[in-house]
Structure 1
Amino acid sequence: MRTVGVEEELLLVDARGFAAPVAPLALADAPPEGDGPAVSAEIQQEMLETQTPPQTSMTTLLADIVAGRELADRLALRHGARAVALAMSPRRLRPHATPDPRYDRMMERYGLTARGTLVCGCHVHVGIASREEGVAVLDRIRTWLPVLLALTANSPFAGGVDTGHASYRFVVWHQWQSAGPTDVFGSVEAYDLFERILVDTGVILDKGMLYLDARLSHKQPTIEIRVADVCLDARDTVVLAAL
């Protein structure tokens, strides 16, 4: 039976609904990682990422997603903020980069694309038996990923305006050169070559910046489906994961 895990990026907001750069303070209070959901930093201080353990039961996965959201919210609340499942801030904002050597390099290399991007997605990890199987799955599911985006769209407002898009996060995210759909790879060798060319030519700093709508995880034996907005309702996240 395949395992499924979920990462959710959550927006941190103050009492007026403005993005609040409290992630470093919140994470300083985080408990040690255990067997349950974990929380970590992201590129901007106005967001946190939650991660569930891999599960085979959607009921257990839902409980973990809810627990992860509650943990992030408790940590944010200690510093006058809340953690909310919004893919973009509906209010105007100026993001604050998370202090980190890798993020510093990204800010320097990619300028406003990195400095101005504050978007929250949902990433679903599905277990695979091999990288060969993973590439075959990526090739098969690529035409279905727009459907998953449509089902999870949760960012019509940004910067105080109605953007006219159901998922403006998707539009903003595609400023990154390595984001978006791909052609059929056909083999692990072709996938690795594609990745290596982007790194060697400086398009991306490392494998972690391969921001495709779906990719092989470089840390876990999974494919990672990254096309979706973070969902307002955790039950919708489970539907996404099940699909």
Structure 2
Amino acid sequence: MGTRGASSAEHFLRAGYAVIFFHREESLKPFSRKFVNLFADIEVIDGKAICTAPGITEAVTEQHKYKDDLCMVPFVTIDDYLHLLEKLCALLANHGRLALLYLAAAVSDFYISQDKMPTHKIQSSDGDLNLSLSVVPKKLGSVISSLVPEAFTISFKLETDESILIKKARGALEKYGHELVIGNVLQMRKRKVVFVELAAAEPIELSDNEVNAGVEIETRIVEELVKKHSVFIENH
């Protein structure tokens, strides 16, 4: 659904960043993400359509406030994603250490490559269908080393087994050479994450009071990333 990316984009904008929001075409988007059933909250009063959804005024106000700092770039297929990611990173290269890559999209591990796509409709009369899936190319290493070697790059690691999360996250850091992996377990991803670096692992978890108050963990994630990015810029 893209909840984490959309929420995080809002917080980066509030923190003073300009944001390129690279998103799946039908995923949730910044500021409008809480209003997916907007039509149900519209009433007609004196011939005018009035929206009564709670928070809609604030959301629209913020969207207009940050419209010049937010660039929306959609993708549909994995091929689109891989191609456009490289293009966007190439554009960011000139910004050096001021650029921050926040790679929150949960890209599929497997896909059907373009050269294996059928030209015509597959006929059921041909019998059972067997699919052979290819592994999605791992672009992170080439993106970092070739296109944005100076950027502050954050990737995500999602697991269902918490016992292997830190090990897998550190494996990604060693393989790709970027700054940080945000690890999260599927069952707790909206309440707890772990900032994993080669020499440290720092959990970030919402308290019961924060959860009950409607605080989103992306608030805490972005607050910490802004601090780390500032130190990253100063230290270089």
Same fold, TM-score > 0.5, yes or no: no
Q: Which has the higher contact order (CA 8 A, sep 6+)?
A: 1
TM-score by length of 2: 0.28
TM-score by length of 1: 0.28
Query: Which of 1 and 2 has greater Rg?
Result: 2
Identify the structure with the greater helix proportion. 2
